[in-house]
Structure 1
C-alpha cells in the first residue's frame, strides 16, 4: 500500500466476520511485533560486537573472567542501544513523518509512530526506561570494576541523548560536519570495546584501543550508508547528516576509504605485535565489503530500494568481521571446541540477520514492482 511505503498509517476496513476471528492473543502478538520493530533488532549488533570483542580480548590476556559482569555489560550495552533507538524515534517523530523514502530496517527510524502502531509518548517512555536501566547497570559495574568506567558511561550517554534533537535544541548532527558520526563510531566502536575490557581487567590497554578501530570504522559505515536514502528528507527537515553536508559522492568515497583503512589496520596489528595472526580470519568478511562498495558505487545517487544491497552488505560486514575478530582471540585463549561452537553460533546469527534483511528487501521490491505495473 502507498501509505505504508510513505510511513503513513494504512487505510483499514473492518468487517464483522473478521472481527469475530480475532482474539486477545492475536492482539498481543501484533503488539509484540510492533515493539520488536521499535527496538530495531538489526541495529543491536552495533552493541553486541564491541562488547564481545572487548570481553574476548580480556579473556585472552587474563586468567580471571567474571561471567556475571560480562553479561551485565552486554545487557546494559544492548539496552542503551535499544533505548537510544526509541528516544531518537520519539524526538525525530515529526521529521521522520516527512520522510517518504526511508526503507526499514535500514533508514527512516522504525516508523512505528508514523504507522500508528505505537504512540509517540509510549516510544519516549520506554526509551527512557531502557536507558535508565542501562545507567543503573553501569553504576553497578563502576562499583564492581572501578571508577575508570565513569568517563565512558558519561560519554556514551551524552552522545546518545544529544545525537539528534528537535528544532532549536542541541543536536550533534547539526553542530558541525562529522561530529555526530564521530560520536557514534567512538561509542559503538572504541568505548564499548574498551569498556568491556576494563570491566574484566580493571585497566585499559593500547591493544584494546587499536583492535576497536576497525569496529568503529565499520559501524560508522553502517550509519553513513543508511543516511543516503534519507538525505532528501533530512535536508528538508534541517537534519544535517554527513551525507547532507558533503553530498552523496563525497560520502560514498568516505565509505569506501573507511573499508580500506579498517582492513589495513587489521592486517597491520599482528605484524607490529598488537594482536595474534589469527586476526586474519576476519578477512573472510572482505567479500561483503567488496559487494557493499560495488553496490554503493553503482547506486549511491539512485533510489532507496536500489541501494538496499549496499545497506545489507555493509551491515553484514560489520557483524561478520566483528564476530570473526572475537573468534580470533578465543582461539588463543580456549581449547578448540569452544571457539568452534562460538563460530557455529556466529554463522547462525549472520544467517538470521541476512534472512531478516532479505525478507524486508523482498517486501519493498514487491511493492515497487506492483506500483510500476
Structure 2
C-alpha cells in the first residue's frame, strides 16, 4: 500500500485535470468542422494523452529525486513536486519503470492511430515523445525551451493531434485553437517556477525566473496572458474559430488577478499562492470554455 501511495503521488493526480481540458479543445474543433465526433476514438486519444502526462510527471519526480533537488525544494500546493519519493526512496526504481510504461502506452496508442490514418500523425507523435523524455533532463536547462516545451506539448501537439485523429487532416482552425493552451500552459509552468528559483539554481537549471529574475518574469507572464486572449479574438476575427469561442474570454479576470499578484508578490511565496491558484483556474477553465463554445457553434 505504501508503494502504491507513493506511485500515485508521483503521478500528481490533481494536475492530470489539465489533460482532458486540453484534449477537449481538439475534440471541439473536430466537432465544429465535422458536425460529429467518434467518442470511442476520442476516449482512446484521452488515454494516450493522460498516459503521456503521467509519464512526464513521474520522470520529473524521478529525476528531481535522483539529482537531490527534492531535498532542497520549498513545496507549495502548485509547485515543487509531490515529495513522494523522498518519503519512500526504495520506490524510485519502480517509479522509473512506471514512467517508461506509461510512455509505452502513449506510444502504442500513437502507433495504432498511425496504422489507421497514415504517417501524417508521426511528426506530432515523435515530437511529443521527445518532449516527455527530455523535459526534465534537457529542456529545463535552457530558458526558452523550458518556457515553450510545456505549452507546445499541451497546446499545439495535443490539440492538433486530437483534431487530426478525429478529422483525418490538419486545419488552421485547430492550430488557432491550440495557441490558447500553448500560451496558457507555458504560463502555468512559468509562474510555478517562482518558488523554486534557489533550489533549481543549485542543480544547474536555467529557466526565466533564474536568468532574468522573478520581477521581469512576472512581466513576461502578463505578455503571455495577453497573447493567449489575443489568439482567441484573432481566431474569431479571421473566421478560424466561431463567435461562441469568445466565451473563453470570461477567464480574463482570473488572469488579471494572477498577473497582478505575480507583480506584487513575486518574491513573497506565501503571498504569491493566490496568484498561482488563479493561474491554475485560467488553465483549466479557458480551454474548457473554448471547447464549450466550439460545441455550441
TM-score by length of 2: 0.94
Q: Identify the structure with the greater helix proportion.
A: 2
Q: How many residues align?
A: 296
Residues 284-324 of structure 1, C-alpha deviation per residue, up to 9 Å, x if partnerless?
21221121112111111113x22211111101101101100
Partner of 1:65: 37
Partner of 2:292: 327
Residues 132-184 of structure 1, C-alpha deviation per residue, up to 9 Å, x if partnerless?
1111111111112231111101101111101122xxxxx1222x331122122
Determine the C-alpha separation between the residues in 1 that align with 2:170 and 2:36: 16
Asked if 1:310 is matched to 2:275, the reply is yes
- Aligned partners of 1:96 and 1:109 also within 8 Å: no
Moved more, 78-87 or 287-296: 287-296
**Which SS does the other structure have where 2:135 is aligned?**
coil
Partner of 1:172: 139
Determine the C-alpha separation between the residues in 2 that align with 1:103 and 1:117: 21
Distance 1:107 1:274, change over 3 A: same
Residues 28-50 of structure 1, C-alpha deviation per residue, up to 9 Å, x if partnerless?
4x655443332112322332222
1 or 2 for the larger relative contact order (CA 8 Å, sep ≥6)?
2
Partner of 2:240: 274
Asked if 1:246 is matched to 2:212, the reply is yes
- Aligned partners of 2:6 and 2:85 also within 8 Å: no
Residues 320-367 of structure 1, C-alpha deviation per residue, up to 9 Å, x if partnerless?
0110000001102xxxxxxxxxxxxxxxxxxxxxxxxxxxxxxxxxxx
Runs of 5+ unmatched residues, structure 2? none
- The within-5 A match list for 1:292-303 is 292-303=258-269
- Pick the aligned partner of 2:69 from 92, 96, 99: 96
Determine the C-alpha separation between the residues in 1 that align with 2:133 and 2:76: 24
Runs of 5+ unmatched residues, structure 1? 1-27, 166-170, 333-373
Determine the C-alpha separation between the residues in 2 that align with 1:214 and 1:143: 30
